[in-house]
């Protein structure tokens, strides 16, 4: 899997992206306004304590004004209490809003993922898409909760302190500000270094995710081919790089924060030295000197905070760029405009026609060439052909997982591009080569969330395909939990479940793709028996490798290298002595050799 997208860091600030990001704040305007008000109020209150100290030292203590001191004490307490309350308010509203925005964004991403066609998923590895929906969204959350809004607070604190200092004594203020160039230098150094190491850390995180995702899904292959040692060494290397990149960035942080404090200490020393002298000469009150020292301590924290927010901003720009790129991926399978076309009533078998269909997954490498055929309502048609001849592709096109490039496909005479993809797909039930089960129960996997399918219907479907043989032997029967990807069931059992699933959905068209290839002969006979029931009153398209299973189909289509070469009943095709005849001869020998193959079920 490539992690190149993760390597690009881009600009630290991009007005176009920022404008689009801010649109996510729009539904939460009142909350954002509240948070900004709280933060500004908090910054203002933070300015008060040093000034109150000055008043105590300069005014109330010399005047021995005990009631005045009491008032100041109450003020002091109220300021701190108010500042606490405002900080709480700001943290709460901003974090809440951040969570809601993340929720909105994740749902938007997931909805978009549902609408993207399989061609997109062929191109994009799972690990990368997972990163979009999780890590990248988290980075944006950080921007909203600790970035955008609290920068207001930092700026306010800084400007406020500067203004108060100048107002109290502009000469001493100049002394305090004399260290600012040093701060600028340190911050510049820190930003440029951290920017680089931040990028490196992100790149290695992406590699770790990609590596783990691939190796964990392929764990059985890893163990089977005893790749543990080598994989361990690979991962050791990646993980080591990740750690070193982190250590590097820790170093910059470890230097930066003390350095800023150190500059603060220089400023304090200068204030004591110069201001202390002026105070001794009576040119500055003692209270002002103390207040200056206190302000100078509060002055440097927002500066280091802001440098850190610079990183957040930068990460957020990179993440949002990737998220928006995903959201902007055009949806290839469009829903039709205008009114929905009239379809035959539910329950009636459908007619299907391919008219001069050509298709290529990769441009210039056609997989289907000028394929035309008709399946009448209720007809049972089989498609046979060598591996890679394009059989599964025909099904994918019919279900509109991919869009045809030439020609058209119709159901009941209506071009499938004029149908809403969702209602098109309700016409079909599929039994595929690899059955995908979700974590949940067996019954849940047959019903797939459609509560309209009753328990009795599930039961009937299970019995019809003889899946009850193995299900009833499970401790919890239909309520037995199924592990992720159906890992706890055998392939044949999964196949039986997918038959039951197809039947329970009572589709107008049944599509079988290599459906009986993973069960033993005994079960195959049971399924063939069940299939007769399932196929009754439905249009059926069956793809099979084993010709023995399709001999009594109404018609057999022979696909060869993407072209439809022969068509007819079993007997007619044998009489033609063409491709089908040759396939049949080969398999007949094969089957004869394999005849006594009876494995116990389940």
Q: Which is nearer to ligand ATP, 213 or 392 (CB)?
A: 392
Q: How buried is residue 358: exposed, middle or buried, by Cβ count under 10 Å (0-12/13-18/19+)?
A: middle
Q: d(Cα 177, Cα 277) in Å, to the nearest integer?
A: 18
Q: Alpha helices of 180-285 — where are they, by DSSP H? A: 180-217, 219-224, 228-270, 276-280
Residue 574: CB minimum distance to Mg ion, A: 24
Using CB distances below 5 to 8 A depending on partner kind, what does residue 387 bind out of ligand ATP, Mg ion, none?
ligand ATP
Q: Which is nearer to ligand ATP, 233 or 362 (CB)?
A: 362
23 lies in the binding site for ligand ATP (CB under 6 A): no
308-314-315-316 Cα dihedral, nearest 10 degrees = 110
Using CB distances below 5 to 8 A depending on partner kind, what does residue 393 bind out of Mg ion, ligand ATP, none?
ligand ATP
Q: Which is nearer to ligand ATP, 191 or 400 (CB)?
A: 400
Using CB distances below 5 to 8 A depending on partner kind, what does residue 388 bind out of Mg ion, ligand ATP, none?
ligand ATP
Residue 362: CB minimum distance to ligand ATP, A: 6
242 lies in the binding site for ligand ATP (CB under 6 A): no
Provide CB contacts within 8 A for 162, sequence distance 6+: 173, 177
517 lies in the binding site for Mg ion (CB under 5 A): no
Q: Which is nearer to ligand ATP, 27 or 388 (CB)?
A: 388
Q: d(Cα 253, Cα 257) in Å, to the nearest integer?
A: 6
Span from 146-154, 209-217, 241-249, 390-398 in contact with ligand ATP (CB under 6 A): 390-398
516 lies in the binding site for ligand ATP (CB under 6 A): no
* Interaction residues for ligand ATP, span 356-385 (CB under 6 A): 361-362, 367, 385
Provide CB contacts within 8 A for 257, sequence distance 6+: 304
**Strands of the sheet with 428-431, listed across from one edge:** 428-431, 509-513, 539-543, 380-385, 555-560, 563-568
Residue 122: CB minimum distance to ligand ATP, A: 4
* Interaction residues for ligand ATP, span 445-504 (CB under 6 A): none
Among 144, 50, 47, smallest CA distance to 103 is for 144
Provide CB contacts within 8 A for 67, sequence distance 6+: none
Instruction: Find the residue with minimal CB distance to Mg ion.
Output: 392
Site string for ligand ATP, 266-295 (x = CB under 6 A): ------------------------------
Residue 509: CB minimum distance to Mg ion, A: 18
Residue of 53, 213, 297, 392 that binds Mg ion (CB under 5 A): 392
CB contact at 8 A, 433 and 517: yes
Residue 391: CB minimum distance to Mg ion, A: 5
Backbone angles phi, psi at 5, to 5 degrees: -60, -35
CA 134 to chain centre: 6
Secondary structure letter of residue 601 according to DSSP: P
Using CB distances below 5 to 8 A depending on partner kind, what does residue 264 bind out of Mg ion, ligand ATP, none?
none
The string of DSSP codes covering 269-335 is HHIIIIIHHHHHTTSS-HHHHHHHHHHHHHHHHHHHHHHHHHHHHHHHHHHHHHHHHHHTS--SSPP
Secondary structure letter of residue 59 according to DSSP: I
Q: d(Cα 508, Cα 398) in Å, to the nearest integer?
A: 14
Q: What count of other Cβ atoms lies within 10 Å of the Cβ of residue 457?
A: 17
Residue of 390, 486, 492, 507 that binds ligand ATP (CB under 6 A): 390
Secondary structure letter of residue 148 according to DSSP: I
Residue 153: CB minimum distance to ligand ATP, A: 51
Using CB distances below 5 to 8 A depending on partner kind, what does residue 441 bind out of ligand ATP, Mg ion, none?
none
The beta strands (E) that lie in 425-480 are given as 428-431, 440-441
Using CB distances below 5 to 8 A depending on partner kind, what does residue 389 bind out of Mg ion, ligand ATP, none?
ligand ATP
Using CB distances below 5 to 8 A depending on partner kind, what does residue 49 bind out of Mg ion, ligand ATP, none?
none
Q: Which residue has the tokens 């292959």?
A: 221
Residue 454: CB minimum distance to ligand ATP, A: 35
* Interaction residues for Mg ion, span 12-41 (CB under 5 A): none
* Interaction residues for Mg ion, span 211-250 (CB under 5 A): none
* Total number of residues that touch Mg ion (CB under 5 A): 1
* Total number of residues that touch ligand ATP (CB under 6 A): 12
Q: Which residue has the tokens 């009594």?
A: 552
Provide CB contacts within 8 A for 160, sequence distance 6+: 43, 44, 46, 47
CA 205 to chain centre: 16
Residue 112: CB minimum distance to ligand ATP, A: 20
Residue 191: CB minimum distance to Mg ion, A: 55
Residue 124: CB minimum distance to ligand ATP, A: 12
Site string for ligand ATP, 342-361 (x = CB under 6 A): -------------------x
Using CB distances below 5 to 8 A depending on partner kind, what does residue 121 bind out of Mg ion, ligand ATP, none?
none
Q: d(Cα 508, Cα 358) in Å, to the nearest integer?
A: 25
Q: d(Cα 265, Cα 293) in Å, to the nearest integer?
A: 10
Using CB distances below 5 to 8 A depending on partner kind, what does residue 249 bind out of ligand ATP, Mg ion, none?
none
Site string for ligand ATP, 109-138 (x = CB under 6 A): -------------x----------------
Q: Which is nearer to ligand ATP, 47 or 386 (CB)?
A: 386
**Site residues, ligand ATP (CB under 6 A):** 122, 361-362, 367, 385, 387-393
**Site residues, Mg ion (CB under 5 A):** 392
């Amino acid at each position: 899997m490539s992690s190149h997208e993760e390597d690009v860091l881009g600009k630290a600030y991009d007005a176009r992206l920022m404008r689009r990001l801010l649109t996510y704040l729009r539904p939460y305007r009142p909350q954002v306004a509240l948070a900004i008000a709280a933060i500004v109020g908090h910054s203002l209150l933070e300015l008060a304590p040093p000034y109150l100290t000055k008043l105590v030292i300069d005014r109330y203590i010399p005047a021995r004004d005990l009631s005045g001191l009491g008032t100041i004490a109450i003020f002091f307490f109220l300021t701190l209490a108010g500042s606490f309350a405002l900080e709480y308010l700001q943290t709460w509203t901003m974090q809440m809003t951040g969570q809601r925005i993340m929720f909105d964004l994740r749902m938007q991403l997931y909805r978009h993922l549902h609408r993207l066609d399989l061609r997109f998923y062929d191109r994009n590895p799972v690990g990368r898409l997972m990163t979009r929906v999780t890590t990248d969204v988290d980075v944006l959350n950080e921007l909203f909760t600790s970035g955008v809004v609290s920068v207001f607070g930092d700026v306010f604190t800084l400007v406020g302190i500067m203004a108060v200092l100048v107002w109290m004594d502009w000469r001493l203020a100049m002394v305090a500000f004399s260290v600012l160039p040093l701060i600028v230098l340190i911050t510049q150094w820190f930003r440029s270094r951290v920017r680089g190491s931040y990028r490196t850390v992100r790149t290695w995180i992406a590699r770790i995710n990609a590596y783990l995702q691939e190796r964990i899904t392929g764990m059985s292959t890893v163990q089977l081919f005893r790749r543990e040692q080598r994989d361990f060494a690979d991962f050791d290397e990646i993980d080591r790089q990740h750690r070193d990149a982190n250590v590097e960035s820790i170093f910059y942080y470890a230097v930066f924060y003390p350095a800023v404090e150190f500059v603060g200490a220089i400023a304090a020393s200068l204030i004591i030295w110069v201001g202390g002298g002026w105070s001794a000469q009576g040119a500055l009150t003692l209270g002002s000197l103390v207040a200056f020292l206190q302000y100078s301590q509060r002055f440097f924290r927002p500066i280091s905070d802001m440098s850190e927010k610079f990183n957040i901003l930068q990460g957020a720009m990179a993440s949002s760029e990737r998220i928006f790129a995903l959201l902007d991926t055009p949806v290839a399978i469009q829903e039709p405009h205008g009114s929905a076309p009239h379809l035959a009533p539910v329950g009636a078998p459908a007619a299907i026609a391919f008219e001069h269909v050509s298709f290529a997954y990769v441009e210039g490498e056609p997989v289907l060439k000028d394929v035309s055929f008709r399946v009448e309502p209720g007809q049972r048609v089989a498609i046979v052909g060598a591996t890679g001849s394009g059989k599964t592709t025909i099904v994918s096109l019919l279900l509109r997982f991919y869009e045809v490039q030439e020609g058209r496909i119709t159901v009941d005479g209506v071009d499938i591009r004029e149908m809403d993809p969702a209602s098109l797909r309700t016409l079909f039930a599929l039994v595929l080569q690899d059955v995908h089960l979700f974590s949940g129960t067996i019954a849940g996997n047959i019903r797939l969330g459609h509560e309209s399918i009753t328990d009795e219907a599930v039961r009937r479907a299970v019995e019809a395909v003889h899946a009850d043989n193995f299900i009833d032997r499970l401790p919890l029967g239909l309520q037995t939990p199924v592990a992720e990807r159906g890992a706890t069931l055998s392939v044949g059992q999964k196949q039986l479940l997918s038959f039951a699933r197809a039947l329970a959905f009572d589709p107008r068209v049944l599509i079988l793709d290599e459906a009986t290839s993973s069960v033993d002969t005994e079960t195959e006979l049971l399924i063939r028996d069940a299939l007769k029931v399932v196929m009754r009153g439905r249009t059926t398209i069956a793809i099979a490798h084993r010709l023995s299973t399709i001999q009594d189909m109404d018609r057999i289509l022979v696909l060869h290298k993407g072209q439809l070469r022969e068509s007819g009943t079993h007997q007619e095709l044998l009489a033609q002595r063409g491709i089908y005849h040759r396939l049949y001869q080969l398999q007949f020998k094969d089957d004869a050799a394999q005849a006594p193959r009876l494995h116990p079920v389940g």
